[in-house]
Structure 1
């Protein structure tokens, strides 16, 4: 299991720390955990929902995100995970394209488990259809972890790395995990 400290885009904001961990489970299951330390309880958590519905615009509240890129390809997937236990997967042909809002749903990734925990969130995703359709191996993939945290102190953007002048989770340079 590889872990990454996610950094706030606003470097002055040090009140919350966030760590993401990635684990590949054969043959096609991806496990990701987020550990959040919020001693002042600034994070605003959305209300729980039942049955893990697919919902759009989850990033308008506290939301954890996973980006799945493919080596030497433009297309990628974005998975949004709400502490409410709602989720959604989106498909992009290239950087932020198509520009539809909400983005085009991706049905080639399935949710196995999504659970809010006392320390953050755990998710298991089934990438079988995505990987088989595109004839991918784990070594073809790279992963970016990020989060939008709505807090009583404003909105904060966390990612493995911020290499743009604006917070931009779609920037593949910031997707640091490889298998």
Structure 2
């Protein structure tokens, strides 16, 4: 299991700490855990829903995200995970393309489990169809973990690293996990 401390884009915002952990489970299951420390209880949590529906625009509220890139390829996937237990997977052919809003849903990634816990969020994703369709091995993938945390001070953007002048979760340079 690999873990990463995610940093706020606004370096002055230190009130919340966030750690993401990634675990590959053979042959095609990806487990991700997000541990949130919010001692002042600043995070504004969305209302819980049942049955794990797919929903768009989850990033407009508190939302944790997983980006999956493929070595030497332009296409990638974005998975949005709401603490409400709603989720969605999107497909992109290249950097933020196509520009549809909401983005095009990806149905080659499925949700095994999404659970809000007392420390954050746990998710298990089934990458079987995605990996088989493109003949991928774990070594072909790299991941980015990100979060939009809504607070009374506005949205705070967290990522493994921020190398762009603006918060940009689609910047593949910031997806640091490799298998």
Give the TM interval when normalised to the shorter protein: over 0.9
Q: Secondary structure at the residue paired with 1:132?
A: helix
2-structure distance, mates of 1:44, 1:82: 12
Superposed CA RMSD in Å reads: 0.3
5 Å-filtered alignment, 1:88-107, equals 88-107=88-107
Q: Secondary structure at the residue paired with 2:59?
A: helix
Spell out, residue by residue over 1:54-76, the C-alpha distance to the aligned partner (whole angstroms, 9 max, x if none). 00000000000000000000000
1:55 alignment partner in structure 2: 55
2:39 alignment partner in structure 1: 39
2-structure distance, mates of 1:44, 1:80: 17
Residue 82 (1) aligns with residue 87 (2)? no
5 Å-filtered alignment, 1:103-122, equals 103-122=103-122
1-structure distance, mates of 2:155, 2:130: 32
4+ residue segments displaced more than 6 Å: none
The two structures have a TM-score, normalised by structure 2, of 1.00
Q: Secondary structure at the residue paired with 1:115?
A: strand
2-structure distance, mates of 1:92, 1:16: 30
2:19 alignment partner in structure 1: 19
1:6 alignment partner in structure 2: 6
2-structure distance, mates of 1:42, 1:152: 7
The two structures have a TM-score, normalised by structure 1, of 1.00
Structure 2 portions without partners, runs of 5+: none
Residue 137 (1) aligns with residue 137 (2)? yes
2-structure distance, mates of 1:99, 1:20: 28
Structure 1 portions without partners, runs of 5+: none
Q: Secondary structure at the residue paired with 2:91?
A: strand
1-structure distance, mates of 2:105, 2:167: 23
1-structure distance, mates of 2:136, 2:70: 8
CA positional deviation for 1:153? 1.9
CA positional deviation for 1:152? 1.5
Give the total of aligned pairs.
179
2-structure distance, mates of 1:50, 1:112: 14
Spell out, residue by residue over 1:113-164, the C-alpha distance to the aligned partner (whole angstroms, 9 max, x if none). 0000011000000000000000000000000000000012211000000000
